[in-house]
Structure 1
Amino acid sequence: MSEYKKSGVDLDSVKDIHKTIADMLSKTYRNTVIGAGHYAGVIDLDGKKIALHVDGVGTKTLLALKTGIIEPTGIDCVAMNVNDIACVGARPVALLDYLAMEKEDKTTITEVLKGIIKGSEEAHVEVVGGETAIMPSVVNGFDVSCSVMGKVERLITGSDIVPGDIVIGLPSNGIHSNGFSLVRRLIDQGKISLKDYAEEIMKPTAIYSDAVLEVLPKIHGAAHITGGAFTKLHRVTNHGIEIQMPDPPEIFKVIENSGVPHDEMYKVFNMGVGMVIFVSEEYGEDVKRELAKKNFNAIELGRVTNSHSEVRITTHKGSVLHL
């Protein structure tokens, strides 16, 4: 049994549930261009393509309360949404937040909203409204989610990805907003010191939307590395992918040394790469230069191959994983 499953999250089961949900939702489609299962839903509204998405921060909120480092969760919530819609070529336009709380707490509300505003300013998206709900016995601490609407500037689904394309990675800030049930379990077991690593653990998710949109005319696809980590690459292409991962930030080594199997690390965490972009060799260097202007030191990870649906990862330790 995987360490993540022991902490209460079964990725295989979640994947099966997602397929069931997608099948159910498809019965409602009328103007849908992209339905459930991609990074965002896209509808055609009077000839204009609009992207819609909703996401939250997960159990990172529990560590926010323990550490008192709450503001980053608001940034996380914005990032998880704007990064995802950028993967279908959409620029974020408007955002709504939903904050559910166990009890009224002005400090928590203020800190979360400060983060949401900070993230929204970075992503150039307007916060047009939201809801705060006090729900004792339902919520433990607080939970926050956001919904975003974006205008599709150039629809990308991954269908343009072809063998020979270069795979480029954008660095992450660290753990971002996934795998926290596992991280919390390791902390509770005394295998990781929250006191020693609080600042590193609570770093907010990097916002990639502006950078992706800057190179949008030159790319074939994009994948935000979130829940399920590099299995997410299957979401954008059925072609094979072969990548060589760089040395990850120290926090991932701390987690692995706490008892998480090496291969599982690449199925749960981003391992230092938060966004993956697919581009033809012709534009590879141009894209890397443009990303550098957005303060992202883009890394060439590998290539798209002719192997059907195989993601082959050579890890920073030299192990080869097949996802």
Structure 2
Amino acid sequence: MSEEYSKAGVDLGKLRKYHETISNIISLTYKNTLIGAGHYSGVIRIGNLNVAIHTDGVGTKTLLALRAGIIKPVGIDCVAMNVNDLLCVGARPIALVDYLALEKPMDEIVNEVISGLVEGAIESNVEIVGGETAIMPDVIKGFDLSCTAIGIVEKLKTGSDIRPGDYILGLASNGIHANGYSLVRKLINEGKIRLDEYKEELLAPTKIYVKPVLEVMDMVKGIAHITGGAFTKLKRLTSYRLILNMPEPPEVFKLIEKAGVPHEEMYKVFNMGIGMILFVSEEFVNEVKSKLEKYVNVYELGRVYEGQGIVIRTYKNVILNL
């Protein structure tokens, strides 16, 4: 149970139940679906192609962006949250559309958001082929932003071939990325974090992992984007026992913890400095690390073992069972 997050208005347990209910209902529509709801991206067979499709947004980070006057990063966030999830099924992202909903006409906000979307799209090598912009007073507070992205899958990556002995590699994050902001805003509103002092760190854009991951895609067995629910998401890939030794996180996470979030809850809500996790066999681990290190800091977090459960040794040497 993530108590502080729940106090901020986000009940992760209830959200998981919603996901389960929705997944069961929409499965009635499946005909050519290879991967349905419950994984990072859906995959459908169209002719000779396996097409991955995913939708995500940036959540309440938009409210903090407005308050801080830093808008462009959320455009990058929106691209990143989608293309990173496409990678997790083995897809090469190719295109996206955006949905921008406004409380009222906001010229500068629109310009900054689109600028961020374009920067993220160029970094991901995807094309923005359209979208929708709406003004909806009484429905939207500030603005809301989401994207739908598609990619092409040559070989599905579901984690089904992960085995004991495989290595677990972590790719460094840019900071909080785009999850947990209801909790962050609660701490700011309570005066426990000063937005004017830490706004740059709190609003750093989500790291886009497309270039490094595509370079090693053929050598990895499973890929996990660490977003909402943090490291519990690894359960999507395997039921084997995972033991992770986490590095010291960036200072922004220590700031949030010091403001009143329990140490254990930090690893259930935030990425704690690891934005993506790759599972790699011993045969390829050194080559994969070498290729990745050209783009991002890589941590050898641990191994896969017989048994079940996720065990995390935190930077404070505390053992957590997720």
TM-score by shorter chain over 0.5: yes
Look up the match of 1:93: 94
**Alignment identity in percent?**
59
1:141-290 matched pairs, under 5 angstroms: 141-290=142-291
Runs of 4+ in 1 over 6 A off after TM superposition: none
Is 1:23 matched up with 2:24? yes
- Shift of residue 131 of structure 1? 0.6
Look up the match of 1:108: 109
Task: Measure the CA separation in 1 of the matches of 2:110 and 2:281.
Answer: 45
Task: Measure the CA separation in 1 of the matches of 2:51 and 2:319.
Answer: 39
**SS of the residue 2:252 aligns to:** helix
- Shift of residue 120 of structure 1? 0.2
- Structure 2: gaps of 5 or more residues: none
Return the letter of the residue paired with 1:281.
E
Task: Measure the CA separation in 2 of the matches of 1:97 and 1:202.
Answer: 20
Task: Measure the CA separation in 2 of the matches of 1:282 and 1:311.
Answer: 23
Return the letter of the residue paired with 1:66.
R
Task: Measure the CA separation in 2 of the matches of 1:4 and 1:211.
Answer: 32
Look up the match of 1:306: 306
- Shift of residue 153 of structure 1? 2.5
Return the letter of the residue paired with 1:17.
Y
> What CA deviation, in whole Å up to 9, does each residue of 1:265-294 have, x standing for no partner?
00000000000000001111100001012x
TM-score, normalised to structure 2, is: 0.99
Look up the match of 1:322: 321
Look up the match of 2:41: 40
> What CA deviation, in whole Å up to 9, does each residue of 1:147-206 have, x standing for no partner?
001001221001011111000000000000000000000000000000110000000000
- Shift of residue 17 of structure 1? 0.9
- Shift of residue 209 of structure 1? 1.8
- Shift of residue 86 of structure 1? 0.3
Contact 1:154/1:216, CA 8 A, preserved across alignment: no
Return the letter of the residue paired with 2:82.
N
**SS of the residue 1:118 aligns to:** helix
**SS of the residue 1:282 aligns to:** coil
Look up the match of 1:14: 15
> Which segment drifts farther, 206-215 or 129-138?
206-215
Return the letter of the residue paired with 1:280.
S
Return the letter of the residue paired with 2:111.
T
**SS of the residue 2:284 aligns to:** helix
Return the letter of the residue paired with 2:75.
G
**SS of the residue 1:199 aligns to:** helix
**SS of the residue 1:215 aligns to:** helix
Look up the match of 2:296: 296
Aligned-residue CA RMSD in angstroms? 0.7
**SS of the residue 2:168 aligns to:** strand
Q: Tell me the matched-pair count.
A: 321
Return the letter of the residue paired with 1:322.
N
- Shift of residue 47 of structure 1? 2.0
Contact 1:171/1:297, CA 8 A, preserved across alignment: yes
TM-score, normalised to structure 1, is: 0.99
Task: Measure the CA separation in 2 of the matches of 1:96 and 1:204.
Answer: 19
Look up the match of 1:49: 50
